[in-house]
Amino acid sequence: MACRRIGGHGHTHSPASSINYVKALATGIRTHSICMVSDFFYPNMGGVESHIYQLSQCLIERGHKVIIVTHAYGNRKGIRYLANGLKVYYLPLKVMYNQSTATTLFHSLPLLRYIFVRERVTIVHSHSSFSSMAHDALFHAKTMGLQTVFTDHSLFGFADVSSVLTNKLLTVSLCDTNHIICVSYTSKENTVLRAALNPEIVSVIPNAVDPTDFTPDPSRRDDSMITVVVVSRLVYRKGIDLLSGIIPELCQKYPDLHFLVGGEGPKRIVLEEVRERYQLHDRVRLLGALEHQDVRNILVQGHIFLNTSLTEAFCMAIVEAASCGLQVVSTRVGGIPEVLPENLIILCEPSVKSLCDGLEKAVAQIRSGTLPTPETIHNKVKTFYTWRNVAERTEKVYDRVADEVVLPMDKRLDRLISHCGSVTGCIFALFAVLSFLFLVFLRWMTPDSIIDVAVDATGPSGAWTQQYFPSKKGSEKEEISNC
Amino acid sequence: MVCAQVEASPGKCWQKVLYERQPFPDNYVDHRFLEELRKNIYARKYQYWAVVFESGVVIQQLCSVCVFVVIWWYMDDGLLTPQWLFGAGLASSLIGYVLFDVIDLGVGRKESGRTRWADLKSTQVFIAFTYGFSPVLKTLTESISTDTIYAMSVLMLLGHLIFFDYGANAAIVSSTLSLNMAIFASVCLASRLPRSLHTFAMVTFAIQIFALWPMLQKKLKARTPCCYVGVTLLFALSALAGLLTISGVAALLFALLLVSISCLCPYCLIRLQLLKDNIHGPWDEAEIKDDLSRFLM
Amino acid sequence: MEEGVYRAVSGARIALQRRQYSASCREFSVRCPRLQLRSLSAVTCSVWLAAYGLFVLSQNSMVLSAAIFITLIGLIVYLHFVKIDQESLLVIGSLGIQMTSSYASGKENTTFIEMSQVKDVVINEAIYMQKVIYYLCILLQDPREPHGVSEVVPLFQSSKPRLDCLVEVYRSCQEILEQRKT
């Protein structure tokens, strides 16, 4: 983070659109002004958070302007800058449940509209269907006539009441969204069904890992024994109960098998009980919560990576493990079969027996030495998923979306009523009208013309790269962010 | 196999994998899209008469509550003496007790390993305690207004019907809570009767009809379905007849309720089953089918 | 002395006066619009109308007298403690920075920051109510840590000028601060 400085260059006052135009002429590609919105961002850790960050960095590298909007995390509120001038707005909104803000569809409109106007945003890109702020932003962006893109990171069932309700809300939220991105083909099928979408407007762009962060290091592992590594949050959905069955089963069979479990969660107690019951303290190590940078150091100590998830849209963990040169054993659920080729992964059914068989197969391969070396696995995996590739493909989506028209109000109401069922459709059409009236009121209170255009920090002509006063940099806190 | 082909690379098949760069746009929709979709794989086919038979449990419980209220009404009006009620209850309990063992030829008793002496002992203890405490129960609710008592009894009996274990595997089911609510209602109502002997007879009757009768029913239903249907019909008719002596309108409404539950509701269930559209696919959360508790024994 | 007309974040017109006393001594003052007779009478009328409505309902004449007192006291409090007519910033390169805010009643509030304490003057962004605004602020040097910032003092808090006005003031301040360095 560095303090913002305004230099003596005239173009800081001209609208961002004309800068984009100049940039576009210079580089020959279309540039967009993108606003990523999600409740989930650093300092919270997880797949969505790193996806947003890495994608934004790669898009900035390609000359686009990117800002991120999320909610305040504790004392972290106001405006912050990350590397390469990536601007993050931590909005002071109340958190309701699981780091997701409350949604009223209206209360965030004034601030989001102000941000969209001052940053001259052209495309609003929301992430994660669990984030209500993302849905709010989509709703407001459509009211304001901006192009919208949504990325779904998770799978959802259809059976219980809660999923019926959330799927209905997703239908409403996505029915007039320009384009949707899913992280795997399974996730695409799921989203298309949940939100009753035309599959043509859903693109599949996988997640990626930074292969330079996950390099193999065979010297770190102890070849006198076989180590199975598990890195995941210890919760029910990650299949920790299965793990508690596998550990005693295999430890009795193979005296040289060790388990290394990284992660924290409510199911830790189950593993501790198993360890206690079978006296496996020297063979099962529970490492607790891991920092992201420690994950690689844990992974390289193992021979086999075990993933017991019960549902997964795109499993980053197995790609990271394979990138570190480990043999991956995983359950065949969700999008996992699409992620790695068959020779790098052993897929099992989600049962103790099948997973034990899979692990035994992996152990046999290690003993017979038929496995490829970690170096070869790494070299193969590192070509699969890169953030540059993700950014390139996402850019294509933006290019496509920028040419589309945003539905005008009357068409949008028609779409809502015809597409979401008469009752829900009418309710949300009413909300859309109210939000439009609210927007008209806000435009009358503070017209767009008196909103200062924010200084663009990112991109080749941005304030960040030009370094007006390179000698002075320091961090500071925003003092009057007093909402 | 039919392949979707694009001009860029003829002969190349779309694969459902993410690790390969394929010559298809990201929003490409293959003909294999949604091929793993399954519908209604766990849906059950219902037979009309089987559902009607199953609805017998609900009928029985409704009738139990009805009979209980009717008996209380008689007692309150002095049409029924407590001695008579106690005697009849005792006799029917004995018959039920014998039936309980006869139905499965004593197999259940052997399995539970409970002796007759233990049964007799608990019966005696219960009767003695209820008899001894009946004056207390009688005066327990004196300071509470009668309207409150009635309202509370209605609520408790409704609660009893809601939480009763009809055989469904749901979180709301709690047979202890259900029984407790029924007993609470019976104590409330019994305390409004004229004498403590009435109270004693009423509470004993409540135990018989809310605790012992459902146990016998369960066994009847499992062993001799034909008998069970007969008993249910008889019980329902006697409840209706009892209600008819008090109020014709109430009896009519109750009869309508019983008919709609036993005939109309099963029909609706079967019709609505046709509209069932349950989607399954690879995105469903996997279920753990192993019994994992053995690892923690 | 130069004078320029700018706008505040709220859209109101504000005037920026610059006085250059010497190369290293400048004064900037931002004058907010004076209290408008129109808004004053509108507020008074609405309070009195509300009071009259209450009076009609309750038939208690206390309400009317209370309304008169409330308007009078409210006006005095507003002029004396809330309404700031002019905010000025006096930068003396060798001495320090003085901030003065004058209230509508004539009351003045002055703060002085010694030059040795001033680390820098920067423009920052913050979320203010339902807006995201730029503001000018002075960073104070942390006496224990040479590169640390101990406090951020926001300037022109009441008038809240827009970015173009802030940039003017910022550049002039930077010129003086640069002179101090060399």
How many domains is chain B built from? 1
Contact A478 C124 (CB under 8 A): yes
Report d(CA A448, CA A153) in Å as an integer: 34
Check residue A182 and give its pLDDT. 94
A84 and A44 within one domain: yes
| Nearest Cβ partner for A450 among C11, C123, C126 | C11
- Strands (E) in A155-253, as ranges, are 179-182, 202-204, 226-231
A381 and A284 within one domain: yes
Amino acid type, A112:
L
Q: How far is CA A390 from CA A380, A439, C13, in A?
A: 18, 34, 48
A125 and A65 within one domain: yes
Average pLDDT for residues B33-43, to the nearest whole number?
A: 83
Q: What is the dihedral of CA A293, A332, A99, A2, to 10 degrees?
A: 30
Contact C11 A110 (CB under 8 A): no
Beta bridge partners of A100: A97
Check residue A464 and give its pLDDT. 66
Report d(CA C3, CA C19) in Å as an integer: 9
Taken in order C138, C142, C146, C147, the sign of the CA dihedral is negative
Sheet holding C149-154, edge to edge: C118-128, C131-141, C149-154
A267 and A395 within one domain: no
Contact A3 C122 (CB under 8 A): yes
Tell me whether residue A153 is in a domain: yes
- Distance to chain A for B217, nearest Cα, Å: 33
| Nearest Cβ partner for A186 among B29, B278, B283 | B283
A380 and A284 within one domain: yes
pLDDT one-digit tens code per residue, B261-287:
999 999 999 998 888 888 888 888 888
* A238 token code pair: 């990650």
- Distance to chain B for A115, nearest Cα, Å: 30
Tell me whether residue A370 is in a domain: yes
Q: Residue A194 is part of which domain span?
A: 10-208+389-466
Report d(CA C153, CA C136) in Å as an integer: 9
How big is chain A, counted in residues? 483
Residue B282's nearest CA partner among A193, A129, A231 is A193
List, for chain C, all residue ranges whose pLDDT scores fall below the cut of 50: none
CATH number of A405's domain: 3.40.50.2000
Of A333, A368, A385, the one marking the end of a domain is: A385
Q: Strand C149-154 and strand C131-141: pairing?
A: antiparallel
Long-range contacts of A106-109 (CB under 8 A, 24+ apart): A106/A434, A106/A435, A106/A438, A108/A133, A108/A136, A108/A137, A108/A140, A109/A136, A109/A140, A109/A143, A109/A435, A109/A438, A109/A439, A109/A442
Check residue A414 and give its pLDDT. 92
pLDDT one-digit tens code per residue, C93-102:
889 999 999 9
Report d(CA A38, CA A9) in Å as an integer: 33
Q: Strand C13-22 and strand C2-7: pairing?
A: antiparallel
Residue B58's nearest CA partner among B267, B263, B268, B272 is B263
* B261 token code pair: 């539950």
A236 and A187 within one domain: no
Residue A411 backbone phi and psi in degrees, to 5: -65, -35
A116 and A17 within one domain: yes
CB pairs under 8 A between A and B: 115
Residue of A nearest to C6 (CA): A450
Contact A79 C163 (CB under 8 A): no
* A124 token code pair: 């609003």
Q: What is the mean pLDDT of each run of 10 residues along chain A (483 residues)?
A: 36 39 55 93 87 93 92 91 90 84 85 94 94 92 94 86 87 93 93 92 92 88 90 90 91 92 91 91 90 88 93 90 93 92 92 93 90 90 92 94 91 91 92 95 92 80 56 34 32
- Whether the per-residue pLDDT at B157 is higher than 60: the answer is yes
A399 and A326 within one domain: no
Check residue A12 and give its pLDDT. 34
Q: Are A381 and A344 spatial neighbours (Cβ–Cβ below 8 Å)?
A: yes
How many domains is chain A built from? 2
Residue A103's nearest CA partner among A74, A71, A80 is A71
Residue B106 Ramachandran class (φ > 0 left, ψ -120 to 50 alpha, else beta): left
Of A385, A418, A438, the one marking the end of a domain is: A385
Q: ∠B62-B67-B69 over CA atoms, to 5°?
A: 95
Contact C127 A118 (CB under 8 A): no
Question: Where do we find the tokens 């409090």?
Answer: C77
Report d(CA C106, CA A158) in Å as an integer: 69
Check residue B260 and give its pLDDT. 95
A230 and A165 within one domain: no
- Whether the per-residue pLDDT at B106 is higher than 80: the answer is no
Contact C127 A13 (CB under 8 A): no
Tell me whether residue B8 is in a domain: no
* A376 token code pair: 């070869």
Long-range contacts of A424-432 (CB under 8 A, 24+ apart): A424/A168, A424/A171, A424/A172, A425/A172, A428/A172, A431/A105, A431/A139, A432/A139, A432/A142, A432/A143
Do A and C make contact via 3 or more CB pairs under 8 A? The reply is yes
Residue of B nearest to A400 (CA): B27
Tell me whether residue A413 is in a domain: yes
Q: Are A390 and A206 spatial neighbours (Cβ–Cβ below 8 Å)?
A: yes
ipTM associated with this complex:
0.87
Total Cβ atoms within 10 A of residue A128: 25
Q: Are A287 and A234 spatial neighbours (Cβ–Cβ below 8 Å)?
A: no
Average pLDDT for residues B215-230, to the nearest whole number?
A: 89
Check residue A220 and give its pLDDT. 87
Tell me whether residue B28 is in a domain: no
Question: What distance lies between CA C64 and its chain's CA centroid?
Answer: 35
- Distance to chain A for C64, nearest Cα, Å: 33
Question: Where do we find the tokens 């910033």?
Answer: C89
| Nearest Cβ partner for A472 among C120, C135, C170 | C120
A136 and A110 within one domain: yes
Whether chain B has a CB inside 8 Å of the CB on A380: the answer is no
Q: Residue B180 is part of which domain span?
A: 57-101+114-274
Tell me whether residue B292 is in a domain: no
Check residue B1 and give its pLDDT. 40
A230 and A174 within one domain: no
Of A361, A385, A409, the one marking the end of a domain is: A385
Tell me whether residue A126 is in a domain: yes
- Whether the per-residue pLDDT at B253 is higher than 70: the answer is yes
A454 and A345 within one domain: no
* B286 token code pair: 């996997």
Tell me whether residue A419 is in a domain: yes
Residue of A nearest to C7 (CA): A450
| Nearest Cβ partner for C171 among A8, A115, A479 | A8
Confidence tier at B10 by pLDDT (50, 70, 90):
low
Which site among A12, A75, A452 would you substitute to test the C interface, given the most C Cβ atoms closer than 10 Å to its Cβ?
A452
| Nearest Cβ partner for B27 among A158, A200, A313 | A200
Contact C163 A77 (CB under 8 A): no
pLDDT one-digit tens code per residue, A266-307:
999 999 999 999 999 999 999 988 888 888 999 999 999 999
pLDDT one-digit tens code per residue, B45-59:
888 999 999 899 999
Contact C171 A476 (CB under 8 A): no
User: Looking at beta carbons, which residues of chain A come within 8 Å of B43?
Assistant: none
Residue A380 backbone phi and psi in degrees, to 5: -75, -45
In this complex, the chains that touch C, judged by 3 or more CB pairs closer than 8 A, are A
